[in-house]
Structure 1
Amino acid sequence: MSPPRLPVIAAAGAFAVAAAALLLPPLTASGATPACSVEYTVTNPWDTGFQGSVKILNNGAPVTSWSLTFDFPGTQKVTQGWNAAWSQSGRTVTASNESWNGKLASGGSIDAGFIASSTGSNPAPTAFALNGVTCDQDPGSSPSPSTGPTGPSQPPTDPGKVPALHASGNKLVDANGTERHLYGVNRSGAEFMCVQGRGIFDGPVDDASVAAIASWQVNTVRVPLNEECWLGAANIDPAYAGTNYIDAVKEYVARLEAHGITPLVELHWSYGEYTGNSSGCSDVHASCQKPMPDAQYGPSFWKSVAGTFKNDPTVAFDLFNEPYPDRATSTLDQAWTCWRDGGTCPGITYEVAGMQDLVDAVRGTGAQNLILAGGIAYSNDLRQWLSHEPTDPAGNIAAAWHSYNFNTCSSASCWDEQLAPVISKVPFVAGEIGENTCSHGYVDQVMSWLDAHDASYLGWTWNTWDCSTGPSLISSYDGTPTPYGTGLRDHLRSLG
Structure 2
Amino acid sequence: MRHPPRSGLLLVGAAVALVGTAIAPTVTASGATPACTVEYSVTNQWDAGFQGSVKITNNMASVSSWSLTFDFAQGQEVTQGWNAKWSQSGTSVTAANESWNGSLASGASVSAGFLASWSGSNTAPTGFKLNGTACNVDGEPTPTDPPPTDPPPTGEAPKLHVSGNKLVDASGATRRMLGVNRSGGEFMCVQGYGIFDGPVDDAAVEAIADWKANTVRIPLNEECWLGLSNIKPEYGGANYIAAVKDLVAKVEAHGMTPLVELHWSYGQYTGNSAGCSDVHATCQKPMPDAQYTPSFWASVASTFKDDPAVAFDLFNEPYPDRATSTTTQAWTCWRDGGTCPGISYEVAGMQDLVDAVRGTGAKNLILAGGLAYSNDLSQWLTYKPSDPTGNLVAAYHVYNFNTCASESCWNSTLAPVAAQVPLVAGEIGENTCSHGFVDTVMKWFDDRNLSYLGWTWNTWDCSSGPSLISDYDGTPTSYGIGLRDHLRALNG
* Identity fraction in percent: 77
Q: Which runs of 5+ in 1 are unaligned?
A: 1-157
Superposition deviation, residue 453 in structure 1: 1.3
Does residue 236 (structure 1) correspond to residue 231 (structure 2)? The answer is: yes
Task: Report the counterpart of residue 351 of structure 2 in structure 1.
Answer: 356
Task: Report the counterpart of residue 200 of structure 1 in structure 2.
Answer: 195
For residues 415-426 of structure 1, the aligned pairs below 5 Å read: 415-426=410-421
Task: Report the counterpart of residue 469 of structure 1 in structure 2.
Answer: 464
One-letter identity of the residue aligned with 1:242:
G
Structure 1 CA distance, aligned partners of 2:284 and 2:160?
28
For residues 181-260 of structure 1, the aligned pairs below 5 Å read: 181-260=176-255
One-letter identity of the residue aligned with 1:450:
F
For residues 421-432 of structure 1, the aligned pairs below 5 Å read: 421-432=416-427
For residues 69-88 of structure 1, the aligned pairs below 5 Å read: none
Superposition deviation, residue 175 in structure 1: 1.1
8 Å Cα contact 2:155-2:253 kept in structure 1: no
1:80-103 superposed Cα distances (whole Å, 9 cap, x missing partner)? xxxxxxxxxxxxxxxxxxxxxxxx
Superposition deviation, residue 160 in structure 1: 6.9
Relative to the length of structure 1, the TM-score reads 0.68
Task: Report the counterpart of residue 438 of structure 2 in structure 1.
Answer: 443
8 Å Cα contact 2:223-2:266 kept in structure 1: yes
1:167-215 superposed Cα distances (whole Å, 9 cap, x missing partner)? 0110001111110000000000000000000000000000000010000
Number of aligned residue pairs: give it. 339
> Secondary structure at the residue paired with 2:462?
coil
Structure 1 CA distance, aligned partners of 2:341 and 2:195?
34
Task: Report the counterpart of residue 265 of structure 1 in structure 2.
Answer: 260
Structure 2 CA distance, aligned partners of 1:424 and 1:455?
11
8 Å Cα contact 2:155-2:252 kept in structure 1: no
8 Å Cα contact 1:159-1:257 kept in structure 2: no
Superposition deviation, residue 161 in structure 1: 1.4
One-letter identity of the residue aligned with 1:195:
V
Does residue 485 (structure 1) correspond to residue 477 (structure 2)? The answer is: no
1:423-451 superposed Cα distances (whole Å, 9 cap, x missing partner)? 00000000000000000000000000001
Structure 1 CA distance, aligned partners of 2:180 and 2:155?
21
Task: Report the counterpart of residue 38 of structure 2 in structure 1.
Answer: none
Identify if the C-alpha distance between structure 1 residues 288 and 355 changes in structure 2 by more than 3 Å, giving closer, same or farther: same
8 Å Cα contact 1:190-1:224 kept in structure 2: yes
Task: Report the counterpart of residue 333 of structure 1 in structure 2.
Answer: 328
One-letter identity of the residue aligned with 1:477:
Y
1:251-294 superposed Cα distances (whole Å, 9 cap, x missing partner)? 00001111111000000000000000000000000000000000
> Secondary structure at the residue paired with 1:314?
coil
> Secondary structure at the residue paired with 2:479?
helix
Task: Report the counterpart of residue 157 of structure 2 in structure 1.
Answer: 162
8 Å Cα contact 2:222-2:265 kept in structure 1: yes
Among 379, 394, 407, the residue aligned to 2:374? 379
Structure 2 CA distance, aligned partners of 1:300 and 1:478?
36
> Secondary structure at the residue paired with 1:253?
helix
One-letter identity of the residue aligned with 1:336:
W
Among 310, 316, 326, the residue aligned to 2:305? 310
Structure 2 CA distance, aligned partners of 1:188 and 1:176?
31
1:364-409 superposed Cα distances (whole Å, 9 cap, x missing partner)? 0000000000000000000000001110001101000000000000
Task: Report the counterpart of residue 495 of structure 1 in structure 2.
Answer: 490
Task: Report the counterpart of residue 340 of structure 2 in structure 1.
Answer: 345
8 Å Cα contact 1:306-1:367 kept in structure 2: yes
Structure 1 CA distance, aligned partners of 2:335 and 2:343?
15
Among 377, 380, 403, the residue aligned to 1:408? 403
> Secondary structure at the residue paired with 1:420?
helix
Task: Report the counterpart of residue 453 of structure 1 in structure 2.
Answer: 448
Superposition deviation, residue 469 in structure 1: 2.1
> Secondary structure at the residue paired with 1:338?
helix
Structure 2 CA distance, aligned partners of 1:159 and 1:442?
31
Task: Report the counterpart of residue 133 of structure 2 in structure 1.
Answer: none
Structure 2 CA distance, aligned partners of 1:278 and 1:339?
17
Structure 2 CA distance, aligned partners of 1:416 and 1:331?
24
8 Å Cα contact 2:318-2:369 kept in structure 1: yes
For residues 280-295 of structure 1, the aligned pairs below 5 Å read: 280-295=275-290
Among 161, 176, 179, the residue aligned to 2:174? 179
Superposition deviation, residue 468 in structure 1: 3.1
1:207-261 superposed Cα distances (whole Å, 9 cap, x missing partner)? 0000100000000000000000000010000000000000000000001111111
One-letter identity of the residue aligned with 2:391:
N
8 Å Cα contact 1:273-1:282 kept in structure 2: yes
8 Å Cα contact 2:269-2:276 kept in structure 1: yes
8 Å Cα contact 2:158-2:256 kept in structure 1: no
Structure 2 CA distance, aligned partners of 1:395 and 1:159?
27
For residues 43-82 of structure 1, the aligned pairs below 5 Å read: none
Relative to the length of structure 2, the TM-score reads 0.68
Structure 1 CA distance, aligned partners of 2:462 and 2:179?
19
Superposition deviation, residue 159 in structure 1: 9.5
Structure 2 CA distance, aligned partners of 1:192 and 1:161?
29
Task: Report the counterpart of residue 30 of structure 1 in structure 2.
Answer: none
Among 291, 304, 316, the residue aligned to 1:296? 291
One-letter identity of the residue aligned with 1:168:
S
One-letter identity of the residue aligned with 1:441:
G
Structure 2 CA distance, aligned partners of 1:160 and 1:479?
19
Among 270, 273, 278, the residue aligned to 2:273? 278
Structure 2 CA distance, aligned partners of 1:440 and 1:325?
30
Structure 2 CA distance, aligned partners of 1:429 and 1:164?
16
One-letter identity of the residue aligned with 1:329:
T
- Runs of 4 or more, structure 1, over 2 Å off, are none
